[in-house]
Amino acid sequence: MRTIIRDSQNLKKTLKEGSWDKIIFWEEEKSNQFEITWTIVSSGYAGEQDGNNPDMSISRSNYYNLTGKEIETLLKNIRYGHPSLCSF
């Protein structure tokens, strides 16, 4: 199955601007593909939102001042659930 990141262009823009503390991600199966959704939360966020536990998170302290190539690599790692990413 294919995995996509919903609203990936906005995620790239958000990562480039660096105006976030923590981004959390969920993976859902939807019509023959997996879809990763994301939202920005405060750095103090530690858990559940709307009854769903996030699958992974990234913190600005670990991912700031990224180049375009670094952002593309990060998105690829998110799509494939790379173990180096912080997960809950």
- Top pLDDT among 49 and 53 is at 53
pLDDT in tens, 3-18: 889 999 999 999 999 8
Measured CA to CA in angstroms, residue 39 lies from 6, 20, 65 at distances of: 11, 10, 19
Q: What is the pLDDT of residue 83?
A: 60
Check: CB of residue 35 under 8 Å from CB of residue 8. no
The CA distance from 33 to 12, in Å, is 21
What is the distance between the alpha carbons of residues 70 and 82, in angstroms, rounded to a whole number?
Answer: 14
Is the pLDDT confidence value at 48 over 70? no
What region does 45 belong to: left with phi over 0, alpha with psi -120 to 50, or beta?
beta
